[in-house]
Amino acid sequence: MVVDLLILMPAAYLLGSIPWGLVLARLFSGVNVRQAGSKNIGAFNVYRLAGRRLGIWTLVGDLAKGAVPVLAASYFLGGPRWQDEAAVGGVALAAFLGHVYSVFLRFRGGKGVATAAGCILVLSPWSFLVSMLVYVLAVCIRGYSSLGSLSAAALLPGVMWVAHHSVPLSLCALTMTVIIFIRHMGNIKRLVRGEEDSFFSLK
């Protein structure tokens, strides 16, 4: 297991580091998303600057770079023991951290929500469904993607614990939540000031 983990964690980090939003927007629209809009490489900024189709493909790419490493880890490392759960959770965190602190962007990156969602989709489908429901409700009611992301992230560790009673998986979810909140500090300030961009304002 140790050898597999030593291979899977760096591979997960490298895959997570691929900035799909930046790559797709530059290739197909000529827009540098790091220099416009919110300057974030995530799907919402790509959607706003480069169009719906590229925004959707960015979302798919960011989900996949969380889901694929965790699927591989679940196959090679997964099991009922807490050590196995910790190993799979470690791979999930590696992919997540790759997105947030990308080696290809000088250890800068996105806010981690979509990649975290891809990880959670494989780690705990029920937790993913509950988090997605919270996200959709928050966006539909208030129109803010950031508020939906923060609401879903806030509930994630508790939902993970209820679903699995697993300390390693719950700690993995909690770590993601803390980093997502840190990465959203600018959004939180804009939400408080009423200056955050809304889905309702998009044409």
Q: For position 202, what pLDDT does the model report?
A: 55
pLDDT (tens digit per residue) in 146-186: 999 999 999 999 999 999 999 999 999 999 999 999 999 99
pLDDT at 199 over 70: no
Whether residue 48 contacts residue 197, with contact meaning beta carbons closer than 8 Å, is answered with yes
| Alpha carbon distance 113, 180 (integer Å) | 7
Torsion sign over Cα 12, 183, 142, 35: negative
Domain range summary for the chain, segments of one domain joined by +: 2-201
User: Does the pTM exceed 0.85?
Assistant: yes
| Alpha carbon distance 154, 145 (integer Å) | 14
Specify burial of residue 196 (Cβ count, 10 A radius: 0-12, 13-18, 19+): buried
| Alpha carbon distance 125, 70 (integer Å) | 12
pLDDT (tens digit per residue) in 44-81: 899 989 999 999 999 999 999 999 999 999 988 876 68
The greatest distance separating any two alpha carbons of the chain, rounded to the nearest whole angstrom, comes to 51
pLDDT at 200 over 70: no
